[in-house]
Amino acid sequence: MRRRSGRRRRDPRREPLTTPVSLPPPAGLRRILLLIAIWLAGTVLATATVYEAVTVVAGQVTAQRSAGLSPSDLDQASRRLSPSPSSLTPASPTPTSDRSPSPAPPSTAPVPAAPATSSPGATPPPPARTFGLVGGTAEVSCRGNVASLDWATPNSGFSVETGSSDSGTQVEVRFRSDAHESRLEAWCSGGQVQGSVREEAT
């Protein structure tokens, strides 16, 4: 009979697996790594922005300093621009013309017009006469041998009445109040006004 050896044959199906297997990192670690990456990117971006701003400001300051001129530079520039005495030449006098000024035109002053004279055929105004009475004032004029009343104005407290007589050739005027009466009779004689005045108490 064969003896069984003390060694047993290994069953490959029963042997444990010895190949290392990489396990995925947990979710918390992934989140931490993502935050670190974001922070690094932000830091780089901020640093680049600050550097760009500092560069722009430094360039402006340098340009302003280079644009400014010192007093010595201004003095040299003014000396370069000022002309030398030898380059200044006196201006030649301008020849004056011998023409005499033209005479002014004669002034034409308006000639005063001669006063108008009445033509021989114009008729003079009719003669008039003013009568002053206690009760008022009246004016009578003549047109030929006919007397005409021009106007009659009573005084305060009086009233006026007018009329004619002797076929209209004579004028009558009465100024009346409660205590007095003034009466005028006027006619024409030789082209002149004639009249009579009567004052009576009433």
- pLDDT single digits (tens) 132-191: 999 999 999 998 889 999 999 999 999 999 998 878 789 999 999 999 999 999 999 988
Give me the amino acid identity at 94.
T
pTM for the full predicted model: 0.39
Q: In degrees to the nearest 10, what's the CA dihedral of 182, 183, 188, 189?
A: -90
- Paired strand residues for 142: 147
The amino acid that residue 86 corresponds to is: S
* pLDDT of the residue at 135: 96
Q: Give residue 164's pLDDT.
A: 87
Give the tokens for residue 149: 């009343």
* pLDDT for the residue 57: 81
pLDDT of 37 reads: 92
pLDDT value of residue 144: 84
Half-sphere exposure of 99 (CA within 13 A, CB side): 5
The pLDDT assigned to 169 comes to 84
pLDDT of residue 165: 83
Beta bridge partners of 159: 176
Written as one letter, the residue type at 16 is P
Predicted confidence band at 126 (pLDDT cuts at 50, 70, 90)?
confident
Three-state DSSP at 84 gives: coil
User: What are the start-end ranges of the H helices in the chain?
Assistant: 27-67, 71-81
Tens of pLDDT, residue by residue over 37-88, are 999 999 999 998 988 888 888 877 676 665 555 667 667 766 766 555 555 5
pLDDT (0 to 100) of residue 16: 52
Whose CA is closest to 131, among 62, 52, 49, 195?
195
Which residue did the predictor score with more confidence, 191 or 17?
Answer: 191
Sheet holding 180-189, edge to edge: 159-165, 170-176, 180-189, 192-201
pLDDT over 60 (residue 93): no
Residues 6 or more apart in contact with residue 165 via CB below 8 angstroms: 172, 185
pLDDT at 70: 62
If one compares 60 and 11, the residue with the highest pLDDT of the two is 60
Residue type for position 83: P
Structure confidence at residue 99 (pLDDT): 57
pLDDT in the model for residue 31: 85
- The pLDDT value recorded for residue 132 is 96
**Region 188-199: what's the mean pLDDT?**
92
pLDDT tens-digit map of 97-116: 555 556 565 555 555 555 55
